């Protein structure tokens, strides 16, 4: 499992391709000193945050009021939690997301996730840090949603870890990349309904016995890229709580709007 979630030294030895991707990011930053940089989305004249004005204007950032449970945005501050959270509380105590998952944010996230765009990680990490500030203040440790080892080999990096690692470092929190593992391969969640997603990931995650001491009694901040139905986060939170975590909260880059979680 060192290949999947080992510390930085083990990861460099086991997955040189991941190191090569990070070196590519450094090289790209060096080139910016010689050639005028483009925006991260490919547009011209990047603003201070790295995106073009056109791309930035299309993003829908989530602001209060939101459901304190799942983070879904409210039009008005009518209650602390939405009807879905009141009817069926989740294993994760609270969740926050930075932006609505739509055409504008989807393009950035898919590039980050599947197109080796690790240069987007600092921007997405900053978004998560702002959106989840309250959760970060309550957390003791940060855990990324893990990939199965075979998928990690194909993708070469875990997008959730590329946000979780720098976020934990910046906030002075423990980073626990090995605390949670995906013990079996699962189908892609894409195209599945809420029930299909729950069945797909049921029992797919666990905290290895040798890692339970890292989790026990701690308030965990779980990191993922997108919150859709909440099935993956729910399965992860259950595994962490069963291993003795005091609480699990969730922070993601984006969340689907108008979907019952």
CA pair distance 230, 218, nearest whole angstrom: 22
Residue 186: which of 126, 146, 215 has the closest Cα? 146
At residue 183, the pLDDT reads 86
Please give the model's pTM, rounded to 2 decimal places: 0.80
At residue 10, the pLDDT reads 39
At residue 257, the pLDDT reads 86
3-class SS at 146?
A: coil
CA pair distance 226, 246, nearest whole angstrom: 24
187 φ, ψ to 5°?
-70, 160
At residue 5, the pLDDT reads 43
Radius of gyration of the chain from its Cα atoms, rounded to whole angstroms: 18
End-to-end CA distance of the chain: 31
CA pair distance 206, 235, nearest whole angstrom: 9
The full set of domain ranges for the chain reads 53-255
At residue 54, the pLDDT reads 86
At residue 63, the pLDDT reads 95
Q: Which residue has the tokens 């004249």?
A: 45
At residue 201, the pLDDT reads 72
Q: What does the H/E/C string look like for 190-202?
A: CCCCHHHHHHHHC
At residue 96, the pLDDT reads 98
Residue ranges of the chain with per-residue pLDDT less than 50: 1-16, 33-36, 44-49, 260-261
At residue 216, the pLDDT reads 98
Class of domain 53-255: alpha beta
At residue 187, the pLDDT reads 54
Please enumerate in sequence order all residues whose Cβ is within 8 A of that of 157, keeping only pairs 6 or more positions apart, or say none. 15, 18, 21, 118
155 φ, ψ to 5°?
-85, -30
Strands (E), 58-140: 94-100
At residue 77, the pLDDT reads 84
At residue 50, the pLDDT reads 61
CA pair distance 245, 220, nearest whole angstrom: 7
Distances (CA, A) of 70 to 10, 89, 107, 242: 35, 9, 23, 21
What's the pLDDT tens digit per position in 110-123? 999 998 999 999 99
CA pair distance 2, 122, nearest whole angstrom: 24
In a 13 Å sphere around the CA of 14, the CA atoms on its Cβ side amount to 16
At residue 194, the pLDDT reads 63
């Amino acid at each position: 499992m060192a290949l999947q979630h080992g510390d930085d030294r083990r990861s460099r030895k086991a997955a040189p391709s991941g190191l090569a991707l990070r070196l590519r990011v450094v090289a790209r930053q060096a080139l910016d000193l010689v050639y005028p940089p483009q925006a991260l989305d490919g547009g011209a004249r990047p603003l201070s945050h790295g995106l073009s004005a056109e791309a930035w204007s299309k993003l829908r950032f989530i602001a209060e009021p939101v459901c304190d449970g799942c983070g879904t945005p409210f039009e008005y501050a009518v209650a602390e939690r939405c009807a879905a959270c009141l009817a069926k509380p989740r294993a994760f105590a609270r969740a926050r997301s930075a932006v609505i998952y739509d055409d504008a944010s989807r393009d950035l996230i898919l590039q980050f996730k599947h197109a080796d765009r690790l240069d987007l990680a600092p921007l997405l990490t900053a978004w998560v840090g702002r959106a989840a500030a309250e959760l970060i203040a309550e957390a003791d440790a940060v855990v990324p949603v893990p990939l199965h080892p075979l998928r990690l080999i194909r993708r070469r990096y875990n997008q959730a870890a590329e946000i979780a690692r720098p976020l934990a470092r910046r906030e002075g929190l423990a980073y626990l990349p090995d605390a949670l593992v995906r013990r079996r391969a699962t189908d892609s969640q894409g195209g599945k309904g809420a029930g299909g997603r729950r069945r797909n990931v049921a029992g797919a995650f666990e905290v290895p016995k040798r890692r339970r001491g890292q989790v026990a009694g701690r308030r965990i901040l779980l990191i993922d890229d997108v919150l859709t139905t909440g099935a993956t986060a729910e399965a992860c939170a259950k595994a962490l709580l069963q291993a003795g975590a005091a609480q699990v909260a969730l922070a993601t880059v984006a969340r689907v709007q108008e979907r019952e979680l």
